[in-house]
Amino acid sequence: MSNFTRQVVPVGEHLHIVARFFAPAGEPRAAVLVVPAMGVTQAYYAPFAQWLAAQGFLVATFDYRGVGQSRHGSLRKVSTDILDWARLDCAAMIDALAAQAPDKPLHWIGHSLGGQILPFVPNRERVSRVVTVATGSGYWRENTAALRRTSWWLWFVAAPLSVRLFGYFPGKRLRKVGDLPRGVMEQWRRWCLNPEYAVGVEGESARALYAAVQTPIVSLSFTDDEYMSQRNTEAIHGQYVNASRTLKRIAPKEIGEKRIGHFGFFKSKYEHSLWRTHLLPELS
């Protein structure tokens, strides 16, 4: 069993996030940063992080500001957006993890949103390789058919009205995503309503940042993902025009399962069928 320590990581003046570091028994072979999906707390990734540590990796998980253990006080008072999460939170985690394994490769495993925001991280050159899991563009008209039937309500009714009323997005009450700071939800809404997602909203500077990424990327996506369609997956990875990209689309029946979905990959039941078979070789 691996050891983990809780650490408060500064991300700016009077700002911090909470992270966990999972250490292997001996000298780490590499470092791995697990970058969360929207609204998902780091606790969800703990079994996965423990397993990676048992394979010899130094692993870090964290909560974005305003989420999980990095939520301090009322969300109405949290001033942040997705770009802040990338530029400050993710950048601080790279620095903190690299400081603990200064001479080791550092790998980025991004779940959903975690695979979208790498270009906006200023110190991303420290990352040796990237694995995205269930990552797609989020553009609502290219979501799966099931999600399109309800996403219009989220983007055109629930999100704008609830944010205006509460000062943040009360996702737990609405049983959608989870509670999110106002700036995060408003920016994410703009992205999801644009055919080019973040690039379409943030402009040519964002397009250039995606083009500047040259780190090898492996995408693991799933045919039964209830959120991300194959088109979503291809669209976001198509923005990484100068990176070596390998897109692996996995059907549950290929691994003897009935279901994987958008969140299933990180469950312990997939240790042998997905983690050991499809992930571990990419980190070697």
Q: CATH number of the domain that 113 lies in?
A: 3.40.50.1820
In this structure, is residue 178 part of a structural domain?
no
In this structure, is residue 158 part of a structural domain?
no
Number of independent structural domains in the chain:
1
- Residue 13 is predicted with a pLDDT of 84
In this structure, is residue 224 part of a structural domain?
yes
In this structure, is residue 268 part of a structural domain?
yes
Per-residue pLDDT of the chain (284 residues; tens, 9 = 90+): 447 899 999 998 889 999 999 999 999 999 999 999 999 999 999 999 999 999 999 999 999 999 999 999 999 999 999 999 999 999 999 999 999 999 999 999 999 999 999 999 999 999 999 999 999 999 999 999 889 888 999 999 999 999 999 999 999 999 889 999 999 999 999 999 999 999 999 999 999 999 999 999 999 999 999 999 999 999 999 999 999 999 999 999 999 999 999 999 999 999 999 999 999 999 98
- Residue 99 is predicted with a pLDDT of 97
In this structure, is residue 209 part of a structural domain?
no
Q: Which residues form the domain of 8? A: 3-137+216-283
In this structure, is residue 167 part of a structural domain?
no
Q: Tell me how far apart the alpha carbons of residues 131 and 46 are, in angstroms, rounded to a whole number.
A: 18
In this structure, is residue 206 part of a structural domain?
no
In this structure, is residue 146 part of a structural domain?
no
